[in-house]
């Protein structure tokens, strides 16, 4: 008899995959006792007389799982098929010691004694926990990300239409078999209108009805009933000036999509493209939609400080929340924790910021969040270290804290699991990353004053009165982290060598940017 026995109570694809994953990860662990599992939805257990009544809410869209020990068996019950998979991963973490923190970490799995709390239902703090990948078409990375996402109870992957067209053949099956939601949209208006007279440099005219049926028909062609769960189509990433009715016309268009695709969830975005407040703020005489939800995305915030200190943006969010609640609609927060464009190569850990943000948004009644992943793209004159920069693993640190915190795990448990991958170096690494967050998170405050450039783009800007303040800020950053240990490793093959490279790289970048900003200042004289 095999040492692991697993019975499934329905043939939904994520449940069958959950069985495969349980067997795969159990086989890697030396087991000294027989383990028997039963997997299924709570209703499956009721129908087979294993439970007297369902244990979850009637809304199966809310992810929840429970583990019970019944005589010689462990029941893994889910509120929906993907929650059964989440329950299996929870069992693997508790029984076998898996953590799956990083792409680089090596698992030290071993059989562990663990008693599951019989009355405990595991459910997410945030109902929607998504990762947004706009236009990074490296399928090897995407496949790793999808696998990692399921293991940390991420329930949505978000793609632009262009990216989906490129990668669908490779990634769709992997997403579907995990039961994760797929959202299509983003800045895809120009892509969907390809072949029309609209210039790539123009904002879309939402008062013009001539192109709207063309886009809606194209969306319908994406087999939306099969694997696509949500449409989140945004205006072009171009600011507007003085167009007071822009947001209303855009929202009307998304409502038109919803009417044509009633089986889909459709949302609109409130986003300060080009720093346009008219695209972020709900006008006084306009209320939020009664049929489509709101995605709120404030670009350029200072991650050094709480969001409520971004007073105008915070007021805008509160207004959207109030109006959406009155119309029985939902607001989702769009954050940039893993955006290597906005945060640049002075990329900060944002562990405490993620925790505090989540508490703030929850206090506002928000239970939907997504996190944007944007790749690091070296500049034209990139050196060897720029090309070695391990952005995939670095962004995953913030994504890890986002995923675990969005599920509602205790921060001390998240920290313990995260730093455990550094072994005997974990105390050292914790001090380093805490200092890096404290110092580098404030670099983001320059995104709005220097827009459309960033602090890391001095070569693209004319000298002005801001130079001396930027230089002072860079000097302070350098002073704060110059004592941190870092080695210019040529081989990054584990979490510690990644952190060591990262610290050294940031120190060199601070020196480089200080020189360039000083040169720019001198040229003015």
Residue 520 has pLDDT above 70, yes or no: yes
Instruction: Tell which wins on pLDDT, 493 or 131.
Output: 131
Determine the Cα–Cα distance for residues 395 and 374; give it in Å rounded to an integer.
9
Q: Classify domain 4-123 by CATH number.
A: 3.30.379.10
Least confident of 200-209, 248-257, 407-416, 446-455: 200-209
In this structure, how many other beta carbons lie within 10 angstroms of the beta carbon of residue 259?
Answer: 12
3-state DSSP assignment of residue 523? helix
Of residues 183 and 113, more confidently modeled: 183
Centre a 10 Å sphere on the Cβ of residue 58 and count the other Cβ atoms it contains: 7
Q: What share of the chain is helix, strand, coil (3-state, %, to 5)?
A: 45, 15, 40
Direct distance between the N- and C-terminal alpha carbons of the chain, in angstroms, rounded to an integer? 83
Q: For residue 485, what pLDDT band results from cuts at 50, 70 and 90?
A: confident
pLDDT at 502 over 90: yes
Q: How far is CA 189 from CA 168, 432, 433, 464, in A?
A: 19, 43, 39, 36
* φ and ψ of 508, to 5 deg: -65, -40
**Torsion over CA of 17, 21, 23 and 28, rounded to 10 degrees?**
160
Q: What is the pLDDT of residue 227?
A: 83
Decide the pairing of beta strands 331-339 and 293-297: parallel
CATH dotted code for 128-418:
3.20.20.80
Bridge-based pairing state of the strands 73-78 and 64-70: antiparallel
d(CA 217, CA 232): 15
Q: Which residue has the higher pLDDT, 248 or 35?
A: 248
Task: Report the alpha-carbon distance of residue 204 to residue 213 in Å, rounded.
Answer: 14
pLDDT digits (tens, 9 = 90+) for 323-361: 999 999 999 999 999 999 999 999 999 999 999 999 999
Nearest to 293 by CA among 341, 232, 365: 232
The residue-averaged pLDDT of 453-467 equals: 92
- 163 and 133 Cβ atoms separated by less than 8 Å: yes
For 228, residues 6+ apart whose C-beta sits below 8 A from its C-beta are 182, 183, 184, 222, 264
- Residue-wise pLDDT for 357-367, tens only, equals 999 999 999 99
Tell me: pLDDT of 487 over 80.
Answer: no
pLDDT band at 195 (very low <50, low <70, confident <90, very high): low
Is 469 in a helix, a strand, or coil?
A: helix
φ, ψ at 5 (rounded to 5°):
-120, 135
Model pLDDT for residues 2-60, shown as the tens digit of each residue: 578 999 999 999 999 999 999 999 999 887 678 899 999 999 999 999 999 999 977 88
Provide the mean pLDDT of the chain. Answer: 93
Burial class of 320 by CB neighbour count within 10 A (0 to 12, 13 to 18, 19+):
buried
Q: Are strands 265-271 and 35-41 parallel, antiparallel or unpaired?
A: unpaired
Answer whether residue 249 shows pLDDT above 50: yes
Q: Looking at residue 113, what is its pLDDT?
A: 74
Please tell me the predicted confidence (pLDDT) of residue 2.
53
Q: Is the pLDDT of residue 111 over 90?
A: no
pLDDT at residue 194 in the model: 85
Give the mean model confidence (pLDDT) for residues 398-403.
98
Q: Give the 3-state secondary structure of residue 329.
A: coil
pLDDT value for 58: 76
264-309 tens-digit pLDDT = 999 999 999 999 999 999 999 899 999 999 999 999 999 999 999 9
pLDDT of res. 115: 72
Helices (H), 51-207: 81-96, 139-151, 161-176, 189-192
318 in Cβ contact with 361 (< 8 Å): no
Cross-strand bridge partners of residue 266: 231
Supply the pLDDT for residue 1.
41
Residue 135: pLDDT band with limits 50, 70, 90: confident
385 burial via Cβ count (<10 Å: 0-12, 13-18, 19+): middle
Sign of CA dihedral 228, 398, 508, 420: negative
By the 8 A CB rule, do 471 and 514 touch? yes
Q: With residue 251 as reference, give the H or E element that holds it.
A: helix 246-260
Contact 445, 477 (CB under 8 A): no
The answer, as to whether pTM is greater than 0.85, is yes
- Residue-level pLDDT at 199: 62
pLDDT at 525 over 60: no
Task: For residue range 157-179, list pLDDT tens digits in order.
Answer: 999 999 999 999 999 999 999 99
Residue 198: pLDDT above 70? no
């Amino acid at each position: 008899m095999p040492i692991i026995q697993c019975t499934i109570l329905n043939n939904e694809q994520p449940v069958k995959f959950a069985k495969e994953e349980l067997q795969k990860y159990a086989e890697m662990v030396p087991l000294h006792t027989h383990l028997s599992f039963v997997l299924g939805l709570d209703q499956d257990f009721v129908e087979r007389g294993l439970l007297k009544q369902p244990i979850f809410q009637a809304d199966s869209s809310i992810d929840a799982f429970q583990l019970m020990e019944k005589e010689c068996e462990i029941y893994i019950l889910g509120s929906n098929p993907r929650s059964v998979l989440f329950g299996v991963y929870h069992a693997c973490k508790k029984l076998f010691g898996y953590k799956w923190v990083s792409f680089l970490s090596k698992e030290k799995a071993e059989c562990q004694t663990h008693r599951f709390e019989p009355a405990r239902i595991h459910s997410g703090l945030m109902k929607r926990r998504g990762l947004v990948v706009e236009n990074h078409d490296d399928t090897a990375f995407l496949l790793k990300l999808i696998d990692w996402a399921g293991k940390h109870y991420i329930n949505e992957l978000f793609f632009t239409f262009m990216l989906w067209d490129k990668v669908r053949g490779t990634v769709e099956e992997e997403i579907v078999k995990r039961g994760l939601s797929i959202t299509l949209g983003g800045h895809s208006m120009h892509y969907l209108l390809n072949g029309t007279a609209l210039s790539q440099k123009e904002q879309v005219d939402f008062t013009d009805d001539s192109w709207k049926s063309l886009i809606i028909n194209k969306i319908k062609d994406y087999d939306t009933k099969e694997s696509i769960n949500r449409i989140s189509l945004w205006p072009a990433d171009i600011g507007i000036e003085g167009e007071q009715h822009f947001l209303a016309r855009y929202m009307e268009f998304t409502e038109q999509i919803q009417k044509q695709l009633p089986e889909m969830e459709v949302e609109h975005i409130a986003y300060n493209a080009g720093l346009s407040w008219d695209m972020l703020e709900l006008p006084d005489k306009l209320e939020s939609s009664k049929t489509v939800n709101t995605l709120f995305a404030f670009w350029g915030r200072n991650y050094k400080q709480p969001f409520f200190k971004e007073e105008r943006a915070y007021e805008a969010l509160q207004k959207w929340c109030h109006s959406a609640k009155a119309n029985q609609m939902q607001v989702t927060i769009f954050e940039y924790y893993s955006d290597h464009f906005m945060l640049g190569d002075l990329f900060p850990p944002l562990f405490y910021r993620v925790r505090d943000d989540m508490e703030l948004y929850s206090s506002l009644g928000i239970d939907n969040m997504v996190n944007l992943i944007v790749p690091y793209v070296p500049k034209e004159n990139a050196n060897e270290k720029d090309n070695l920069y391990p952005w995939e693993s670095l962004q995953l640190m913030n994504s890890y804290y986002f995923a675990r915190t969005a599920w509602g795990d205790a921060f001390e448990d998240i920290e313990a699991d995260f730093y455990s991958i550094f072994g005997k170096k974990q105390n050292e690494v914790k001090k380093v990353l805490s200092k890096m967050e404290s110092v580098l998170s404030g670099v983001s405050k320059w995104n709005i004053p220097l827009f459309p450039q960033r602090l890391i783009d001095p070569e693209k800007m004319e000298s002005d009165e801001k130079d001396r303040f930027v230089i002072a800020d860079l000097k302070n950053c350098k002073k704060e982290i110059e004592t941190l240990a870092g080695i210019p490793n040529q081989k990054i093959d584990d979490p510690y060598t990644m952190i060591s490279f990262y610290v050294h790289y940031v120190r060199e970048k601070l020196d480089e940017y200080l020189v360039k900003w000083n040169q720019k200042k001198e040229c003015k004289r």
